[in-house]
Chain A
Amino acid sequence: MPTIAVDAMGGDLAPDEVVKGVAEVSLTTDIECLVVGDERRIQAVLEGVSYNPEHIAILHCADAIGMAEEPREAVRTRPDASLLVAVRAAADGRADAVVSAGNTGACILACAKHFRLLRGIRRAALASVYPRRTEYPGQDRLALLIDVGATVRCEADELMQFALMGHAYARRISKVANPRVGLLNMGSEPMKGGEILVEARRRLQELPQLNFVGNVEGNELVGGRADVIVCEGLLGNVALKLIEGVSEIFHDLASHAGEHKLAWRLGLRLLSQEIERLRELTDYTQYGGAPILGFERLLLKCHGRSNARAIANAVKVGAKAVRDRVPAEIADALSTFR
Chain B
Amino acid sequence: MSRLGRRRGGGRPTPPLVCRWDLDKTYLRSEFETIRQLLRTAFERGEDKVDVPGVVELIKVIREAAERRGQPCRTLFVSASPPQIGKAIRAKLDLDGVPYDGIVFKNQLQHLRPGKLRNLREHVGFKLVALLGGRLEEPPEARELLFGDDWESDSLIYSLYADVIARRVEGARLESILRGLSVDPELVREVLSLAARAGGADAVERVFINLERRTPPAMFRLFGERVVPTFNYFQTACCLAGAGRLEPADVVRVGQALTRSAGYTPRRLENSLGDLVRRGHLALRDAHTLLKPLRKAGLIPGPLRASGWRRVLDAVEQLRARRRRVVGPPQATVVDYEAILERLHATTPAEASGGPA
Contact = CB atoms under 8 A, between A and B. Distances in A.
> Do A and B originate from a single complex?
yes
Contact of A27 (B214, B217, B267, B311): B214
Contacts of A59: 311-312, 315
Contact of B315 (A39, A43, A50, A53): A39
Interface string B267-288: 1111110110011000000000
A43 B279 contact: yes
A57 B300 CA distance: 13
A40 B322 CA distance: 12
Contact of A47 (B216, B272, B316): B216
Contact of A40 (B231, B268, B319): B319
Interface in B218-247: 218, 231-232
A49 interface: yes
Given A39-B315, A94-B308, A47 B268 contact: no
Interface string B315-327: 1100100000000
B119 interface: no
Contacts of A48: 216, 218
B71 interface: no
Interface string A39-61: 11001000111111111111111
A280 to B, nearest CB: 28
Nearest to A33: B271
A32 interface: yes
A96 B326 CA distance: 35
A39 B231 contact: no
A40 B316 CA distance: 9
Interface residues of A, number: 21
Contacts of A55: 268, 271
Contacts of B274: 53, 57-58
B316 A60 contact: yes
A94 to B, nearest CB: 6
Interface string A16-52: 0000000000010000100000011001000111111
B14 interface: no
Interface string B150-188: 000000000000000000000000000000000000000
B346 to A, nearest CB: 17
A60 B320 CA distance: 12
B312 A50 contact: no
A43 B269 CA distance: 18
B239 to A, nearest CB: 13
B215 interface: yes
Given A52-B231, A59-B311, A59-B315, A47 B218 contact: yes
Contacts of B316: 39, 60
Contacts of B216: 47-51
Contacts, number: 58
Contacts of A54: 231-232, 264, 268-269, 271-272
A170 B163 CA distance: 62
Contacts of B268: 54-55
Classify the interface of chain B: helix, strand, loop or mixed: helix
Q: In the complex, which of the residues A51, A54, A56, A60 has the most CB atoms of chain B within 10 Å of its own CB atom? A: A54
Contacts of B319: 39-40, 60
Contacts of A60: 312, 315-316, 319
Contacts of A52: 214, 231
Contacts of B272: 53-54
A51 B214 contact: yes
A244 B316 CA distance: 42
Nearest to B213: A50
Interface string B242-275: 0000000000000000000000100111111011
Contacts of A40: 319
Nearest to B280: A43
Nearest to A89: B308
A50 B214 contact: yes
Contacts of B213: 50
A60 B214 CA distance: 24
Contacts of B232: 54
B217 A47 contact: yes
Contacts of A49: 216
B267 A47 contact: no
Interface in A291-333: none
Contacts of A39: 278, 315-316, 319
Interface string B291-315: 0000000000000000010011001
Nearest to A51: B214
Contact of A53 (B275, B308, B311, B312): B275
A329 B231 CA distance: 39
A58 B270 CA distance: 11
20 contacts: A27-B214, A32-B267, A39-B316, A47-B218, A49-B216, A50-B216, A51-B214, A52-B214, A53-B271, A53-B274, A54-B268, A54-B271, A57-B267, A57-B312, A58-B278, A59-B312, A60-B315, A60-B319, A61-B315, A94-B308
Given A51-B214, A54-B232, A59-B311, 15 more contacts: A32-B271, A39-B319, A40-B319, A43-B279, A48-B218, A50-B215, A53-B231, A53-B271, A54-B231, A54-B269, A56-B271, A57-B271, A58-B312, A59-B315, A94-B308
List 7 A-B pairs, minimum CB-CB distance, nearest first.
A53-B275, A60-B315, A54-B268, A50-B214, A47-B218, A47-B217, A48-B218
